[in-house]
């Protein structure tokens, strides 16, 4: 299979949607002439024109409201934030309208909008541009929230998101746009709400999503050098959460380590840990190990930023402390 980047995969999915459905259009900050903050929509304005590729003012609540209104009216907008940090300015429209209106209308209104948002730290964007709000958004009934770690998953999840009649948040980690991976030319989709076993093993389950999967796979490789076979679960979807795949793995390994690049306090893996304990407590040989970012605003300084974030050594240390392996 040919190798492409996550950026390429997203471009392929968006072009397919624009080519095949006249109701699909793109809107966002600097997505037109500039080509997007991370170059995902480079060349789209020239190919599809300003009616299908719309640059918007820096007024997040306004353009999210516009997208939601057009979705309820029958269009299928794909909105791009320059950063998930800026979604704070659109939470009223996103949560009070986007996530609620289908339920409040008794299913009479559909809200087929995909919101793409670069997320995460690690590239020195400092405190106000390095947030990961996936856990906040995944806590809201009505949203679908997905986070791909490979080009294959990015394309398959985007295709499914574009077909969904509910608002879908695609959290795209800023460190992953250039990551390469095999993607078949044949058409495929990945259902929302289905985790993936990225590496099989029998000694410990490592659960992660987005860029955390990169750390998990590196940690599994280090463990293998000492004869420890780790199974790596990529959640891919945060809402709905596929806890069954996680529990099936824990039933085999009897150990679990969770990686979350969000803050530790109230991070997404706190929910996963709670569900493992509630539904699979008797499966465990010890307490769930949880590795997350430190509870501090993201520093601009690269050495300080790297100290804040999870890494392979911290994962290995947590596994050794909790399970002695």
Catalytically active residues are: 60, 129
CA nearest neighbour of 114 among 160, 147, 77: 77
Write out the DSSP string of 158-210: HHHHHH-SS-EEEEEETTTTT-EEE--SS-----TT--EEEE--SSEEEEE-T
Distance CA 316, CA 319 (A): 5
DSSP 5-69: EHHHHHHHHHHHHHHH-TTEEEEETT-SSS--TTSTTTTHHHHH-TTTEEE--S-HHHHHHHHHH
Structure tokens at 29: 């900050």
């Amino acid at each position: 299979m040919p190798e492409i980047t996550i950026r390429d995969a997203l471009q392929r999915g968006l072009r397919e949607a624009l080519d095949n459905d006249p109701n699909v259009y793109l809107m966002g900050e600097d997505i037109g002439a500039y080509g997007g903050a991370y170059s995902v929509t480079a060349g789209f304005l020239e190919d599809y024109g300003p009616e299908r590729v719309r640059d918007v003012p820096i007024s997040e609540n306004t353009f999210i409201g516009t997208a939601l209104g057009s979705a309820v009216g029958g269009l299928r907008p794909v909105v791009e934030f320059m950063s998930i940090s800026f979604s704070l300015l659109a939470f009223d429209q996103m949560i009070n309208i986007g996530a609620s209106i289908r339920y409040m209308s008794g299913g009479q209104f559909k809200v087929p909008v995909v919101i793409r948002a670069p997320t995460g730290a690690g590239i020195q964007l400092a405190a106000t541009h390095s947030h990961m709000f996936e856990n906040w958004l995944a806590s809201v009934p009505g949203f679908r929230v997905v986070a791909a770690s490979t080009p294959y998953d990015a394309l398959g999840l985007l295709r499914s998101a574009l077909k969904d009649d509910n608002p879908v948040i695609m959290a795209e980690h800023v460190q992953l746009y250039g990551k390469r991976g095999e993607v078949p030319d044949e058409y495929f989709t990945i259902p929302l709400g289905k985790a993936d076993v990225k590496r099989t093993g029998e000694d410990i389950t490592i659960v992660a999503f987005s860029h955390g999967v990169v750390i998990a796979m590196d940690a599994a490789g280090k463990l293998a050098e000492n004869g420890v076979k780790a199974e790596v679960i990529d959640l891919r979807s945060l809402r709905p959460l596929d806890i069954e795949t996680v529990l099936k793995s824990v039933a085999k390994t009897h150990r679990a380590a969770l990686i979350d690049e969000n803050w530790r306090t109230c991070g997404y893996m706190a929910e996963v840990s709670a569900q493992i304990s509630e539904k699979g407590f008797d499966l465990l040989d010890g307490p769930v190990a949880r590795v997350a970012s430190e509870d501090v605003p993201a520093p601009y300084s690269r050495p300080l930023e790297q100290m804040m974030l999870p890494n392979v050594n911290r994962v290995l240390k947590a596994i050794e402390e909790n399970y002695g392996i």
